[in-house]
């Protein structure tokens, strides 16, 4: 990541909030800014996961409806970019789960907005499975598990690809297993060796 990118990732999350500003003039300026930025560079592709993370965290969290509006606007801009530039988006969004407090049940639902969008093809659902260890630990919260289950059920019912449906079924079974049995060591692979999470002890 370039020095310019490091300097701008925090700054640009602030004008991103203005994309849905109630003042029309402010909203239009913000939207024009990001449209021009997208035409000149790949900055939005590079920084979208950071935007999503910052705007979903407790200290800077936007109202959920506004958050979705910002995401939908930015994702529309990415349609102008080559598909290859967005293929790693699920990986990069999932990594952001590591910065979320385990007791925060809202941020995972915010990031779900992006995951549900990027998992709509076979490659996307594979990446969601590959990144299981990043987001599965939040499934011990019933409300989070419910949201993620509904998302995957929707993806499954919307697809005509049998292999894709199979991967969705596997994820649903894994979610159900956590709800029934709690988190396993595999689910918490990136966590400390012994910890108490959502009422379940994960030991060596």
**94 occurs within a structural domain:** no
pLDDT band at 173 (very low <50, low <70, confident <90, very high): very high
Q: Are residues 154 and 61 in the same domain?
A: no
Residue 199: its pLDDT value, please?
Answer: 43
Cβ atoms of 96 and 47 within 8 Å: the answer is: no
pLDDT of residue 53: 92
| Same domain membership, residue 156 and residue 75 | no
Q: Are residues 199 and 112 in the same domain?
A: yes
Question: Same domain for 79 and 118?
Answer: no
Across all residues in the chain, what is the average pLDDT?
Answer: 83
pLDDT computed for residue 202 by the predictor: 37
pLDDT score, position 204: 28
The mean pLDDT of 125-151, rounded to a whole number, is: 92
**Considering the domain boundaries, does residue 36 fall inside one?**
yes
147 is a domain residue: yes
Q: Of 86, 121, 137, which residue is a domain's last?
A: 86
Residues 135 and 179 in one domain: yes
* End-of-domain residue from the set 39, 65, 86: 86
The predicted structure's pLDDT at residue 2: 40
Q: Which residue has better confidence, 185 or 150?
A: 150
pTM of the complete model beyond 0.85: no
Q: Does residue 41 form part of some domain?
A: yes
Please indicate, yes or no, whether residues 159 and 135 belong to a single structural domain of this protein. yes
**Counted domains in the chain:** 2
For residues 160 and 106, membership in a common domain is answered with: yes
Residue 104 has pLDDT above 80, yes or no: yes
Overall average pLDDT of the 46-54 stretch: 89
pLDDT in tens, 84-93: 556 688 999 9
Higher pLDDT, 91 or 199: 91
Query: Which residues form the domain of 36?
Result: 1-86
């Amino acid at each position: 990541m370039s020095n310019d990118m490091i300097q701008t990732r925090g700054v640009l999350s602030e004008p991103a909030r203005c994309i849905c500003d109630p003042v029309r003039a402010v909203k239009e300026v913000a939207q024009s800014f990001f449209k021009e930025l997208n035409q000149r560079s790949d900055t939005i592709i590079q920084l979208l996961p950071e935007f999503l993370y910052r705007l979903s965290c407790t200290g800077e969290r936007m109202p959920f409806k506004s958050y979705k509006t910002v995401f939908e606007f930015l994702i529309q801009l990415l349609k102008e970019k080559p598909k290859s530039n967005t293929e790693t988006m699920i990986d990069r969004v999932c990594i952001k789960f590591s910065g979320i407090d385990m007791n925060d049940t809202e941020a995972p639902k915010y990031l779900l907005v992006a995951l549900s969008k990027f998992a709509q093809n076979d490659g996307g659902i594979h990446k969601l499975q590959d990144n299981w260890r990043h987001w599965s630990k939040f499934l011990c919260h019933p409300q989070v598990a419910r949201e993620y289950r509904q998302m995957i059920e929707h993806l499954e019912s919307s697809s005509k690809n049998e292999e894709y449906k199979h991967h969705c079924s596997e994820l649903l079974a894994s979610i159900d297993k956590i709800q029934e049995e709690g988190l396993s060591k595999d689910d918490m692979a990136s966590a400390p060796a012994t910890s108490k999470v959502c009422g379940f002890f994960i030991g060596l």
